[in-house]
Amino acid sequence: MPEALSPDQFRFLDEFGRYAAFLRLYSSSDPQDSSLLESMYRSEDPLVPLMLLQYLVDIPEKNALLPIIRFLENDNPAVVRAAMNAYKKNHYPGKAKLLKPLILSRDVTACRFAVRTLSRAGFPDALPLILRELPEREDPVRSEMLIALRFLPDRRTVPTLLPLADSREEPVRYLAMQTLAALQEREPVLPASFFIAKAKDESLRIRRVALEALQRRSSPAYTGVLIEAALREDEDEASRERAIRALAAFPSTDVVGPLVSLLCGDAPAALKLSAEVVLKNLPPRIQKGGLVRLLDAAALDLRRWAALLLAQFQGSDPAVRRILLELWRRADDESAVELTEMLRELRGADAEGLLIEAMRRDPLVAYSAAGALARILGAGSGPRILGMLQDPATPAMAKQALLAHWSKRPPEDAVRPALLPWLLETLHDPVLNMRYLALQTLASYPLDRKLGGLLGLLCRESSPDVVRVVDRQLLLGLGLDPLPLVRALAEHPERSRLIGHVVRVLTSQAWDRDLSVPLLELLDAEPLGLLDRNPEAFFAVCAHLMEGRGVMLQTVWTIVDDDRLRRRFLEMVLSFRANPKRRFPALPIGFLHAQLAAGNAEERALYYRLLESDGSIAAAEALAAALVREVDGACLRVGTAALRKLVIGGAP
């Protein structure tokens, strides 16, 4: 190796030569070698520092770490990144002290690296320098230093952070508040008034940090600001929920009112749930005192919620029961409607008695009371509810509420036989809602027990909603067998008025294919005689069965023995096949040819249109063969147009 080695020469040595040259220069005490190594450290060619860093990283000595730290202020970003990695990997024990002076560096990258590295390592000697520099620095160094103080918690940071917490720049205020809040969690360094004031800051995230600091250091002095934050509608939901949950640490009657007001308002469901949980977990004495006080509130909603919560939480307390029952007795009709849920929560014979009495009050009160009573009465109460329904003195609104209970929960087996006649009779009730609810309750009965009543209701019902429910129950009850419906129709005295309804049901779902022919025979036979009296309805059923592969065209042809009616049926089939939502089977081309090809011009034109609707190759071939023999001009035009669509897709 030459005695005088320049940085350029060093760069062009092979790997072993470079490493040997570096070790010789690094370990030499000769001033000339030290000067040469220093010139390499200062080289403007970034490759030289990058090569040297590869060797310095593995030497855990001060003399190796000092140039690594110098490289942190290099102008080349690649060299700086390599120096950062080398510093992290070097194992010199005193490297933190050597890095500390870079906190004073005016190089942004080097300063931030020093602040971040030393603070994350918890190096306490860095704190005085950070506090000294922080007021004079600008972002991004200032933000880095503010974040670093969270990792170096110390009371000495407070005087420096307080002015920054009042900065006009929101990011600076936020970072300062984060550090102060973290310090406050460790030890109370600031009065509650500071965080209470910050809880009203215009910045949402600063308010959130202030509230979190107040919650972690619980004190009754914070109750007011927590209540204000919980009720503040422009506060974000997460902060409001934290404030609500924090109130659980301050069991006081003063928190009951605000929490109940949240339940009354339009607050999000999560906030209402949190408020209810906090109320439920308050000590019973405070819970009772706060809620009883609200029973005299001017707002009806507050009174209702207070009564309901008292009944839920302390309904077993005799004193509370007396207060709530007396509240009900004094209530006017408007208040009674709102308080029925309270009696439902109280339960017991006294509550049931008051609800029964209320069923004879204003219709709205009667409806609410009957609904609450139906939910109170448990298993085995069916006869009692039935007695109320059958009692002529029970108001119609109360009957609707009782019946609504059974429309959602099927009546118990013990009362079902006695209830059925009353339900069938109620289908004649002039009140639409009574008919509808009776029909809903009948849904749990088998079809054979209610079929006559349903058909009778269809004869006279004008409400589309009720008719839809009847149709649904008929379809569910019939399953795959439509014959019971047709037999019941044949025996019904108003069958002529029911034909349209029954045809609608028969064409609403698929049936057992084996029952298709018996179904058509029943419809055609007397006393229905549907083919003679209403051929369009009969054909609609036939087309529906054909679509479901229950019958073939040949079967319908056999049943319909009139040529004019046959053509009408085929016209209907054509219209059905034109509907893209329908899925008809392929037409029996040979059968149609035998029946229509030799007929009159009208029948031949119909035949051509049917072949066109089939769309198959066989249909095209049959159509072409028929047109060869066609002599009628009108039929020829119809057939030619049909063939064109089949062969070339309708092109002119």
pLDDT tens column, 421-455 = 999 999 999 999 999 999 999 999 999 999 999 99
> Does residue 406 sit in the same domain as residue 488?
no
pLDDT at 651: 36
Write the pLDDT tens digit of every residue in 477-523: 999 999 999 999 999 999 999 999 999 999 999 999 999 999 999 99
Q: Based on the fold, state whether residues 464 and 409 are members of the same structural domain.
A: no
Q: Which of 82 and 581 is assigned the larger pLDDT?
A: 82
Instruction: Label residue 562 left, alpha or beta by phi (over 0 means left) and psi (-120 to 50 means alpha).
Output: beta
Contact partners, residue 574, CB within 8 Å, separation at least 6: 606, 609, 610, 613
The mean pLDDT value of the chain amounts to: 86
The residue-averaged pLDDT of 188-201 equals 79
List Cβ neighbours of 399 (8 Å cut-off, separation of 6 or more).
Answer: 370, 388, 389, 434
Does 500 share its domain with 619?
A: no
pLDDT given at position 409: 82
User: Over the stretch 577-635, which tens digit does the pLDDT of each residue have?
Assistant: 888 888 888 889 899 888 888 888 888 888 889 888 888 888 888 889 888 888 888 98
Do 576 and 634 belong to one domain?
no
Q: What is this structure's pTM?
A: 0.60
Contact 555, 517 (CB under 8 A): yes
Q: DSSP for 603-651?
A: HHHHHHHHHHHH-SHHHHHHHHHHHHH---HHHHHHHHHHHHHHHHTT-
Per-residue pLDDT, 440: 93
Among 393, 417, 440, the domain-final residue is 440
- Establish if 52 belongs to a structural domain: no
Share above pLDDT 70 across residues of the chain, in percent, rounded to a whole number: 96
pLDDT, tens only, 61-78:
888 889 989 989 988 999
How many domains, in total, are found in the chain? 3
Count, residues in the chain? 652
Q: CA dihedral in degrees (436, 441, 443, 449; nearest 10)?
A: -100
| Same domain membership, residue 624 and residue 561 | no
498 lies in the same domain as 432: no
Tokens found for residue 6: 């320049």
Taking the CA atoms of the chain, what radius of gyration do you get in angstroms? 46
Q: What is the pLDDT of residue 219?
A: 58
Cis peptide before 140 (omega within 30 of 0): yes
pLDDT single digits (tens) 138-168:
989 999 999 999 999 889 999 999 999 988 9
% the chain with pLDDT above 90: 33
**Candidate from 368-382, 384-398, 432-446, 533-547 with smallest mean pLDDT:** 368-382
Residue 288 near residue 315 (C-beta atoms within 8 A): no
Residue type, 591: F
Same domain? 468 vs 563: yes
Residue 379 above 60 pLDDT? Answer: no
Q: List phi, psi (to 5°) of 4.
A: -110, 110
Residue 218: pLDDT above 60?
no
Q: Distance between CA 287 and CA 313 in Å, rounded?
A: 9
Mean pLDDT (whole number) for 52-60: 86
* pLDDT for position 346: 85
Q: Is residue 599 part of a domain?
A: yes
> Under a CB-based contact definition with an 8 Å cutoff, are residues 259 and 278 in contact?
yes
Cα 105 to Cα 99, 125, 129: the distances in Å are 11, 16, 11
> Is there a single domain that holds both residue 385 and residue 435?
yes
| Domain assignment of residue 503, given as a range | 446-585
Query: Of 585, 613, 635, which residue is a domain's last?
Result: 585
Whole-angstrom distance, CA of residue 141 vs CA of residue 110: 10
Residues 171 and 143: beta-carbon distance below 8 Å: yes
Element (H, E) at 36: helix 31-41
For range 376-403, the mean pLDDT: 82
> Is 267 part of any domain?
no
**556 lies in the same domain as 597:** no
Query: Could you tell me if 433 and 504 lie in one domain?
Result: no
Task: With cut-offs at 50, 70 and 90, classify the pLDDT of residue 222.
Answer: low
